[in-house]
Amino acid sequence: MSLLSPKWWKHRKEHVKPIKGKSARWTTVVFGDYGLKAITSSYITNRELEAARKVITRYIKKVGKMRLRVYPRVPITRIGLEMPMGSGKGEVDVYTARVPRGKVIFEISWLNDAEARTVLIKASKKLSVKARVLKKWEIR
C-alpha cells in the first residue's frame, strides 16, 4: 500500500499558509453524477484521502466509477521529540491537500441516488473537513 505523494516537487519544504476564502474553481460536479463538496476549509492528509478512497471503492465494487479531484502536494514538516531548540526545520512528515470551502473532493458515477449518498456520507466521515453530497451541475 502506498499513500499518495508527489513524484516531483520544486521545494522540499514549504511554508504552510492559512486557507482564506472559498474555492473559485472545481465547485461543481463535472465528471461523475454525485460529488462530495467541502463545507469548511482545511488541509487533508494523504492518509485521510486514502481511507476515504478505500471506503468508496469497497462500496462501488466494479459497477461504479470514482474520481479524486484533489491531490496531496503540500509537505508538512515535523521536528522529532526531544530535539533541542534551534536545529532548523524538521523533516517532511506527511503530504496534504489544500482544500478551501466549496471545492469538490470526490466524484462518483454509475450508482443510484440512495447508494451514492450513503457511500459519500461514509467517506466524508474519514475526512477532517465537513462535507455535503452534491448532484451533477447542482450549485449550493
- Examine residue 63 and state whether it is found in any structural domain, yes or no: yes
- Examine residue 86 and state whether it is found in any structural domain, yes or no: no
- Examine residue 1 and state whether it is found in any structural domain, yes or no: no
Q: Which amino acid belongs to residue 116?
A: A
Q: Give DSSP secondary structure letters for 89-124.
A: S-EEEEEEEEE-BT-EEEEEESS-HHHHHHHHHHHH
- What are residue 65's phi and psi, to 5 degrees? -120, 145
Q: What is the arithmetic mean of pLDDT over 83-92?
A: 88
- Asked whether 53 and 66 are in contact (CB, 8 A), the reply is yes
Per-chain mean pLDDT for the chain: 92
pLDDT confidence of 137, banded at 50, 70, 90?
Answer: confident
- Examine residue 21 and state whether it is found in any structural domain, yes or no: no
- Examine residue 124 and state whether it is found in any structural domain, yes or no: yes
SS3 content of the chain, % helix, strand, coil (to 5): 20, 30, 50
- CATH number reported for the structural domain that contains residue 68 in this entry: 3.90.1170.10
Say whether pLDDT at 93 is over 80: yes
Q: Which residues neighbour 57 within 8 Å (Cβ) at sequence distance 6 or greater?
A: 66
- Asked whether 41 and 99 are in contact (CB, 8 A), the reply is yes
Q: What is the arithmetic mean of pLDDT over 112-117?
A: 94
- Examine residue 47 and state whether it is found in any structural domain, yes or no: yes
- Examine residue 43 and state whether it is found in any structural domain, yes or no: yes
- What are residue 134's phi and psi, to 5 degrees? -130, 140
Q: What is the arithmetic mean of pLDDT over 51-71?
A: 93
Say whether pLDDT at 61 is over 90: no
Structural domains of the chain, count: 1
- Examine residue 70 and state whether it is found in any structural domain, yes or no: yes
Say whether pLDDT at 1 is over 60: no
pLDDT score recorded for residue 2: 66
Domain of 113, in residue numbers: 34-75+91-135
